[in-house]
Chains A and B, each alone.
Chain A
């Protein structure tokens, strides 16, 4: 036997302390008796002899000392040397294909059942580390407690993407190295991608395949594009695949905002796919394509339902609000109004209020003390510049540099640009120069404080730009770059979505397909939303102090051919070839016995309590015995 914490044995010193306390007994109540003559005689007799009162004759003290000793030993964590308990790592795949119902109720449930059988087959002292293999592998629990293992196993939820078995095995290998695991069990249908070149795994890897069938039809792609003639007319592109080894006839229904716009039956040869383009009516917001079996539900020809539905949410038909703060807005207003989907509101500098919300604010010849929220286009900066430093004026600057990679200069020809005067600005650290001179930048762009900013250091009327074709293109590019990006119409499972709050938004709520609402704080800057594990529509609501400001939505489609190809694999290439790294020499295991000692201490304390009460009751019974019984104590002459 050894001790994991031998220093705790010093607590055994409590036992002599207990004896000392027992002997000292400071507090002694005073009790008047008729005479102390007999008591004194008793002690006088004792003084004449060696009166060593062996403390252990007092059963109560004996129990107390034994309890202290048991607790001290328990804290020292005594352990019996013996064969080390085994450590098993169980990886349960939670990929989307594990929701296939070719084994009932589904592959994930079957995998959990198999994992439970493995856990139940181990010795009670054996340890199990349970890993959920999804896009991000995660250790759920590492314990020998069967209840916590079973609870963690039951809490495994299916994912909507491929399982990252490479990272899962790397994680398991790291655990096996540090925790001396014997074996890694991978319970999966084998849809974990290419595992070739997997680093050595520090344990024997055993693959337990799940699944028996391959029949599945899936929507692999759904894309929508704007019509060329009308900007709000869309056409949908759909790709449907049949992964079964037999031909399939699958009804497909296309709905736009809940109304059926197309209905057809697809005849798909074995292991083939079909593509089609569907014209959509104008002003469509939500487009959904659904595969339906002939009997109205899933049949034996389609074992995975998650890839039978695809949805796209189209951006709302909303005008871009541009606030033009200028004393003379004519030139800019004229060119901005020509841009499609844009509403320009001129504001006199004297009427400017920072609280007025707009998607883009154009500040021409005016810099307020308080900047508005949202993206900014600053033209001819004058006044108190907060975002950069103004150092006077430049006269007749000569353009020396162009950043042709900038999206602002796409298709813009600035040859022959002349500028009469411009503000002299020191290029701030957050910005990149787009058009520059020897004295300083003429145009620069960048992001600061969570928003996009473009600065023109000159007034358009001081240049020949208004008379050139490049001017509206430059402004269109600028406005396009400054336009807040709307939500993507569709994303893949577990792909983060960047949500840009509307101006004045203080809170963003996202309602998931299962109805759960997630609240995100908004402070002007974009918010990343990563809880996209469920397939379906996500509704985003922007809220301000006065209530709801607007809403948007996006969809998560499975659209993963690797997951839709549900044919199970019986082995995984790569794992079997992975060389098993040399493991540290098997050490003897330490079987700790402290729980037994704690139980023993508890038992001893209970016995001490019971004995104490029993003695008290006995004394009371003795003192209350009837006189007739006491007569027996009287010796008769």
Chain B
């Protein structure tokens, strides 16, 4: 029976990634399901028509249109004055919501550190493509936030923020998501990295996050010993967040029940997300991040 220890400080002192992995990350960019209103020009297709070289449509000339955009060849053939529209390219804002509750500071490997690495990978992809990144640490509220950063020059600040993010408090996803929405009105890609072990449930916070026209990605982290407990016998299980204890006699029968309950729970989350167009990723923290995470994200069409 492995006894997970909260806060793997040795691991925290190590860099989140090596340079080779960062170079691999630069090759990817986010795929978003809807056009984002990023404001600034970027690499993502905007819902607005703009002035790029990519043709989008024609429309009739109206007062105030730029004469330079009138398609004179159409006028010559059809004697109608139309304006040629091109697609606008805007930047994406990636909001990384990092669950920093004490339940995340558990497991081997440590779930919080794994979450930081996932956040770092996704944030790096965004910064490398001139997208904007915000990071919010969630607990029983929104207790720490990195303001919007853009460009690779902000990478160091971004990573330092992640490394200093510490676990604290209980998980209250609803309160913390409401606090996040109050502060961040810029729509974009919201990435919630959490174990979703919130006594208040996951439904309400996800609904709140969807209400602001965000594109939502849920990265659900599970430690190996959460998926398949390796302990047995008569035990008193103590909740790392609340300190509440549960007396259990873990035998094969109960382990089967637990595994079934866990599977049922994750399937509920998955169905919930599917119905609402939320991308749901369940990741086991025993996966080697460098070799399997990018492949998995690519297969799930989160990045391209």
Contact = CB atoms under 8 A, between A and B. Distances in A.
B225 A623 contact: yes
Interface in B183-235: 195, 197, 199, 223-228, 230-235
Given A25-B249, A34-B226, A38-B262, 19 more contacts: A28-B234, A29-B235, A29-B236, A30-B236, A32-B237, A32-B240, A33-B237, A36-B246, A37-B239, A38-B197, A38-B261, A40-B244, A42-B254, A42-B257, A622-B230, A623-B2, A631-B284, A635-B267, A637-B300
Given A33-B240, A34-B111, A37-B197, A627 B288 contact: yes
Q: Which 7 A-B pairs have the closest CB atoms?
A: A623-B230, A35-B197, A25-B234, A34-B106, A36-B239, A34-B103, A28-B236
A619 interface: yes
A29 to B, nearest CB: 6
Contacts of A39: 237, 246, 248, 258
A21 B286 CA distance: 38
A34 B237 contact: no
Contacts of A53: 253
A31 B3 contact: yes
Contacts of A623: 2, 224-225, 228, 230
Contacts of A38: 197, 258, 261-262, 265
Contacts of B244: 36, 40
B199 A627 contact: no
A396 to B, nearest CB: 107
Contacts of B280: 637
Contacts of A635: 266-267, 270, 282
Given A58-B253, A619-B230, A637-B300, A627 B286 contact: yes
B238 A30 contact: yes
A27 B234 contact: yes
Interface residues of B, number: 63
A36 B199 CA distance: 10
Contacts of B247: 28
A627 B267 CA distance: 20
Contacts of B231: 31
A57 B253 contact: yes
Contacts of A630: 224, 227, 284, 286-287
Contact of B103 (A29, A35, A42, A637): A35
Contacts of A586: none
Interface string A264-293: 000000000000000000000000000000
Secondary structure dominating the interface of B: mixed
Interface of A: 25, 27-43, 45, 53, 57-58, 615-616, 619-620, 622-623, 627, 630-631, 633-637
21 contacts: A25-B249, A29-B233, A32-B3, A32-B238, A33-B225, A33-B237, A33-B238, A33-B239, A34-B104, A34-B107, A35-B241, A36-B246, A39-B258, A41-B265, A42-B254, A42-B258, A58-B253, A623-B2, A627-B286, A635-B267, A637-B270
Contacts of B241: 35
Interface string B277-296: 00110111011100010000
B73 interface: no
A142 B103 CA distance: 74
B245 interface: yes
A27 B236 CA distance: 9
Contacts of B279: 637
> Which of A33, A36, A53, A623 has most chain B Cβ within 10 Å?
A33
A627 B107 CA distance: 15
Nearest to A43: B246
Interface of B: 1-4, 6, 103-104, 106-107, 111, 171, 195, 197, 199, 223-228, 230-242, 244-249, 251-254, 257-258, 261-262, 265-267, 270, 273-274, 279-280, 282-284, 286-288, 292, 300
B103 to A, nearest CB: 4
A410 B245 CA distance: 110
Contacts of B6: 32
B223 A34 contact: yes
A363 B240 CA distance: 105
Contacts of A33: 4, 106, 225-226, 237-240
Given A31-B3, A34-B106, A37-B199, A42 B261 contact: yes
Contacts of A31: 1, 3, 231, 235-238
A43 B235 CA distance: 15
A633 B247 CA distance: 27
Nearest to B170: A35
Nearest to A30: B236
Contacts of B111: 34
A630 B246 CA distance: 27
A41 B246 CA distance: 11
Contact of A620 (B4, B230, B237, B254): B230
Contact of A627 (B171, B197, B253, B284): B284
B232 A30 contact: no
Contacts of A32: 3-4, 6, 106, 237-240
Give the most central of B237, B257, B265: most A CB within 10 Å: B237
Contacts of B226: 33-34
A597 B221 CA distance: 53
Contacts of B292: 627, 631
B222 to A, nearest CB: 9
Nearest to B274: A637
Contacts of B300: 636-637
A32 B1 CA distance: 12
A623 to B, nearest CB: 3
Contacts of A616: 232
B104 to A, nearest CB: 8
Nearest to A39: B246
A612 to B, nearest CB: 10
A58 B104 CA distance: 34
A11 B147 CA distance: 74
A36 B242 CA distance: 9
Contact of B282 (A29, A45, A634): A634
B228 A622 contact: yes
Contacts of B249: 25
A248 B300 CA distance: 120
A406 B262 CA distance: 113
A538 to B, nearest CB: 73
Nearest to A29: B235
A636 B178 CA distance: 29
A30 B235 contact: yes
A144 to B, nearest CB: 46
Contacts of B103: 34-35
B240 A35 contact: yes
A630 B224 CA distance: 9
Contacts of A57: 253
Contacts of B197: 34-35, 37-38
